[in-house]
Amino acid sequence: MNQPILELKNIKKVYPGVVALKNVSMKFYPGEVHAIVGENGAGKSTFIKTITGAIQPTEGKIFFEGKEIVNNNPIKSLSLGITAIYQEFNLIPYLSVAENIYYGRFPQKFGFVDYKTMYKNAKKVLDWLGIDINPKTIVKDLSVGYQQIVEIAKSISMNSRVLIMDEPSAPLTNNELKYLFNVVKKLTQQGVAIIYISHRMEEIFDLCHKVTVFRDGEYIKTMNVADTNKNDLFALMVNRKLNDNFPNRNYTPQEVVLEVEGLTTSKVSDISFKLHKGEILGFAGLVGAGRTEIALAIYGADKVRSGSITLKGKRIINKSPAQAIKNGIALIPEDRKKFGALMNMTIKENISYSMLKKIAWKFGIIKANFEKKTANEYKDVLSIKTPSINQKVINLSGGNQQKVILARCMFTDCEILIFDEPTRGIDIGAKQEIYALMNSLTQQGKSIIIISSEMPELLGMADRILVVYNGKIAGELLKKDADQQTILKLASGCDGGTYEN
């Protein structure tokens, strides 16, 4: 326990325009479980990638057993015994357990795979873990929990000295979780250093020795778990200054526009809430909590199993986005490139795309001049920075792309706009413009739902915040009661004590 197995010194990673990681100096010791906590975007993934050599730090050094790792890359770090288990497993579903454990390192005899030895060795590793799986089982037939065990077995078979586990408990049931804990404890007895990344506070206090907090790409503090508590951790995770880059909202409660009751899909269950005229309603939650899925269900893009949606007192059923748009609901999707803009089409073509009927004569012939006029109007109103509306959207900056999508939604004459991560990857200037636009839209009587992982944004813009955890609404906060710590607690499932899967 005296010499660190892995040490990071002053690691900094800069991407063009953003500092993804800075001030990271940490030590990891054999036999220790070291937890890393932080909000979405706190820099945890960049941190993992730096250690595994998937990316190169801009500054700083990494030492393994006191020796510097020069030009780190995934192969080098693997050969040192640094392994990682990601949220999405790297298993090949149609191969057997043993084949997955030894994938790329098959024991060989005369150039053929020596299956006998492979199965024998795999069995040994699995036995050591105390798990009873036949190494010949096809991986896709295993439960998620067992698949994770296979991942761990793979790491062990590579003589892992440092094992990084990224949200290992997320897909597990309570029973599987206990099992995972046992395995982790066994590994620490063997002197493996574990880097444990998790959103779940309980696990950190049950399992880990040390905990490090990251916030906004910055290393904040490392503590002994015994010397801290949940509230302190939450406070460190969100302890940032709130700036006042947001427009002044003066919303007074008005009539209900949208009422959702008991909405249930395969991803979310029993979602009920009301949206008022002129209101901005925020949805907070961790990535994967089900916020986007709620939006997609309302928007007709995901299949609704049960529940009702009432718009201005009229029950509506949106079976497709086309129908939702007809009913006056518009969505600005999370991923601009994949789901938002038509990147290879022009600004003009993107703006009219959801409402082509409005710019066409009876037989579908497009009124070219009217389309041009419309696009130019939106270009001016939203101040889209481009030399021409005939510019392809792919050539615009992120902020301007987002404005084009917003223009497309506005052209549908919708009553309700759903913004999913509206300012992700957008520079500060464009962000403020989008906030101002949202504000003016609500002043015109539109209602807005905003889904965001950026807490300052939610706290700055939303009049009311719903926190989503595990596919359900975990709490509702009025603007005056909302603060970062309360939101984070609800989003981590720590309030109300629901800790199930």
Partner 1 sequence: MKIKEQISKFGIWFALIALVIIFSLTTETFLTQTNLFNIARQVSIIGICSVGMTFVILMGAMDLSIGAIIGISAVVSATMMSNGIQPVLAVITSLILGVAIGLFIALIVNKIGILPIIVTLAMMTALRGACFIITGGMPVYGIPKSFLFLGQGYVGFFPVPVIIMIIVFIIGYVILEKTVIGRVVYGTGGNEDASRLSGVSVKKVKYFVFAIQGFLGSLAGIILLSRVNSGQPSAGTGYEMDIITACVLGGIRVTGGEGKILGVIIGVLTIGVLSNGMVLLGVNEFWQMIVKGAVLLIAVTADKISKKTSNKMSEGSVKTA
**Binding site residues, partner 1, CB under 8 A:** 299, 301, 320-322, 324-326, 331, 333, 338-345, 349, 353-357, 360, 363-366, 368, 385, 392, 394-397, 400, 408, 412
Distances in Å between the Cα of 143 and the Cα atoms of 93, 289, 311, 343 are 12, 21, 41, 39
Rounded Cα–Cα distance for residues 393 and 412 (Å): 19
Distances in Å between the Cα of 343 and the Cα atoms of 37, 292, 359, 409 are 36, 22, 21, 16
Comparing CB distances to partner 1, the nearer of 314 and 338 is 338
- Minimum distance between the CB of residue 264 and partner 1, rounded to whole angstroms? 21
- Minimum distance between the CB of residue 333 and partner 1, rounded to whole angstroms? 6
Q: Residue 435 corresponds to which tokens in the numbers above?
A: 């906030």
Comparing CB distances to partner 1, the nearer of 341 and 455 is 341
* DSSP 3-state of 141: helix
- Minimum distance between the CB of residue 216 and partner 1, rounded to whole angstroms? 25
- Minimum distance between the CB of residue 417 and partner 1, rounded to whole angstroms? 14
* DSSP 3-state of 132: coil
Comparing CB distances to partner 1, the nearer of 4 and 422 is 422
- Minimum distance between the CB of residue 294 and partner 1, rounded to whole angstroms? 15
Comparing CB distances to partner 1, the nearer of 211 and 355 is 355
Comparing CB distances to partner 1, the nearer of 151 and 349 is 349
Long-range contacts of 150-154, Cβ-Cβ distance < 8 Å, separation of 24 or more: 150/91, 150/97, 150/100, 150/101, 151/85, 151/89, 151/90, 151/91, 152/85, 152/183, 152/187, 153/97, 153/101, 153/122, 153/125, 153/126, 153/129, 154/83, 154/100, 154/101, 154/103
Closest CA to 61 of 95, 32, 26: 26
**Which residue is listed with tokens 């510097």?**
68
Comparing CB distances to partner 1, the nearer of 313 and 364 is 364
- Minimum distance between the CB of residue 400 and partner 1, rounded to whole angstroms? 7
CA angle 278, 284, 289 (to 5 degrees): 130
DSSP string for residues in 417-451: EEEESTTTT--HHHHHHHHHHHHHHHHTT-EEEEE
- Minimum distance between the CB of residue 343 and partner 1, rounded to whole angstroms? 7
Comparing CB distances to partner 1, the nearer of 188 and 402 is 402
Cβ burial of 75 (10 Å; 0-12, 13-18, 19+) is exposed
- Minimum distance between the CB of residue 421 and partner 1, rounded to whole angstroms? 14
415 DSSP assignment: S
Comparing CB distances to partner 1, the nearer of 28 and 299 is 299
- Minimum distance between the CB of residue 314 and partner 1, rounded to whole angstroms? 19
Q: Residue 113 corresponds to which tokens in the numbers above?
A: 């795979």
- Minimum distance between the CB of residue 93 and partner 1, rounded to whole angstroms? 20
CA angle 358, 348, 246 (to 5 degrees): 95
Comparing CB distances to partner 1, the nearer of 2 and 344 is 344
What are 14's strand-pairing partners?
A: 19
Comparing CB distances to partner 1, the nearer of 170 and 345 is 345
